[in-house]
């Protein structure tokens, strides 16, 4: 199977990604570590499924670059740049690219693959594919936190022995407090290795629930999510390169704000949001645009 591993790695590298293949035997260790140090304070304990198809012999971890970006939004007083952190947009396109790339190799070697649902970041850190930052994000050499992580199972035999990482966190975090100082909500604490998820701005503005009163209006900085703990992180130096990915006219902005459902938008605007994968967040887009405008003193 070494030839298959080599070809898959080469194919992923050709589309700008990085890959790590590990034996499925690592999974019980990942589960044990997850239950011991749940980075999300128990909020995802019922989401993950550590039971796998018996034919799965190895796990393939893939990271593709995912840049921080922004869209231009036209408003009464001109155009604002609305930030979007890595991972949020172009999800479908990147997953399709990975699937197509891997499928070509799998078909040649008569291999199968299965979707899996368990803590990807922890698996990647334990297999030395990356390391956790203090902000609970995974950092990968050459990509920083600007990547999309994907994991799937396969019946391919992994030829490498399991070598668990001795430390799941970046060494530099113990001497650095940039993300702590940047986080306005206090979600990142010097004395705690886990972030306080219920204080994280991302946790609140991804959900339809009302934004808590204790979150100040000028803390909002992104169309979805939050960039504060990443944009100034030293581990992202030279890697945090914002890209413009779209623009919304005044009329389009008004339509998004006023629409009660995604289907109520005209087809062109639906397509524009879908292409960016922002349709997945439509339920909160209207509120978040208004919060962002207010944070910039434009409301």
For 253-296, what is each residue's pLDDT tens digit? Answer: 999 999 989 999 999 999 999 999 999 999 999 999 999 999 98
Tokens found for residue 8 = 């898959």
Question: Which pLDDT belongs to residue 86?
Answer: 96
Q: Are strands 69-75 and 243-248 parallel, antiparallel or unpaired?
A: parallel
Residue 258 burial (10 A CB sphere; 0-12, 13-18, 19+) = exposed
Residue 183 within any structural domain of the chain: yes
What confidence tens digit (pLDDT) does each residue in 60-114 have? 999 999 999 999 999 987 899 999 999 999 999 999 999 999 988 999 899 999 9
Q: Is residue 160 part of a domain?
A: no
Two tokens, residue 96: 């399709």
Query: In this structure, what CATH number is given to the domain that contains residue 91?
Result: 3.40.109
How does pLDDT run across 204-227, given as a tens digit for each residue? 999 999 999 999 999 999 999 999
What distance in Å separates the CA atoms of residue 262 and residue 39, rounded to the nearest whole number? 33
Number of H helices, E strands in the chain: 10, 9
Which H helix or E strand runs over 2? helix 2-14
Query: Average pLDDT, whole number, for the chain?
Result: 92
Q: pLDDT at position 42, please? A: 57
Is residue 136 located within the same domain as residue 213?
Answer: no
Q: What is the pLDDT of residue 149?
A: 96
Q: Does 57 fall in a domain?
A: yes
Q: Same domain, yes or no, for 104 and 240?
A: no
Provide, rounded to the nearest whole percent, the portion of the chain with pLDDT above 70.
97
In the predicted structure, residue 147 carries a pLDDT above the cut 80: yes
User: What pLDDT is recorded for position 38?
Assistant: 61
Distance of CA 149 to the CA centre of its chain: 7
- Beta bridge pairs of residue 18: 63
Question: Which of 71, 192, 63, 45 shows the shortest CA–CA distance to 129?
Answer: 63
- Domain check: are 57 and 186 in the same one? no
181 and 126, same structural domain? no
Does 1 have pLDDT greater than 70?
no
Q: How far is Cα 170 from Cα 140, in angstroms, rounded to an integer? A: 10
Q: Give residue 23's domain range.
A: 2-67+87-154
Say what the pLDDT of residue 215 is. Answer: 97
Mark whether 140 and 180 lie in a shared domain: no
Tell whether 14 is covered by a domain: yes
Which band of pLDDT confidence, cut at 50, 70 and 90, is reported for residue 44?
A: low
**Number of domains present in the structure of the chain:** 2
């Amino acid at each position: 199977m070494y030839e298959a591993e080599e070809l898959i790695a080469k194919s992923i590298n050709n589309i700008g990604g990085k890959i790590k293949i590990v034996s499925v035997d690592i999974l019980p260790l990942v589960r044990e570590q997850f239950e011991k140090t749940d980075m999300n304070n128990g909020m995802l304990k019922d989401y993950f499924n550590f039971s796998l198809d018996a034919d799965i012999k190895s796990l393939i971890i893939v990271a593709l670059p995912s840049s921080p970006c922004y869209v231009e939004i036209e408003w009464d007083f001109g155009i604002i740049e609305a930030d979007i952190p890595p991972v949020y947009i172009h999800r479908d396109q990147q997953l399709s690219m990975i699937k197509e790339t891997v499928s070509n190799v799998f078909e040649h070697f008569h291999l199968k693959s299965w979707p899996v649902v368990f803590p990807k970041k922890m698996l990647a850190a334990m297999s030395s594919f990356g390391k956790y930052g203090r902000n609970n994000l995974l950092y990968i050499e050459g990509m920083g936190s600007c990547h999309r992580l994907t994991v799937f199972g396969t019946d391919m035999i992994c030829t490498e022995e399991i070598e668990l990482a001795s430390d799941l966190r970046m060494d530099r975090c113990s001497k650095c407090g940039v993300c702590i100082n940047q986080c306005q909500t206090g979600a990142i604490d010097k004395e705690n290795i886990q972030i306080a998820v219920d204080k994280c701005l991302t946790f609140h503005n991804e959900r339809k629930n009302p934004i808590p009163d204790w979150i100040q209006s000028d803390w909002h900085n992104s169309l979805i999510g939050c960039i504060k703990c990443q944009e100034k992180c030293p581990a992202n130096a030279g890697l945090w390169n914002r890209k413009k990915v779209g623009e919304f006219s005044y009329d389009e902005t008004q339509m998004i704000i006023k629409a009660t459902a995604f289907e109520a938008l005209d087809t062109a605007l639906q397509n524009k949001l879908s292409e960016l994968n922002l349709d997945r967040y439509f339920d909160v887009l209207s509120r978040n645009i208004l919060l962002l405008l207010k944070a910039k003193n434009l409301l």
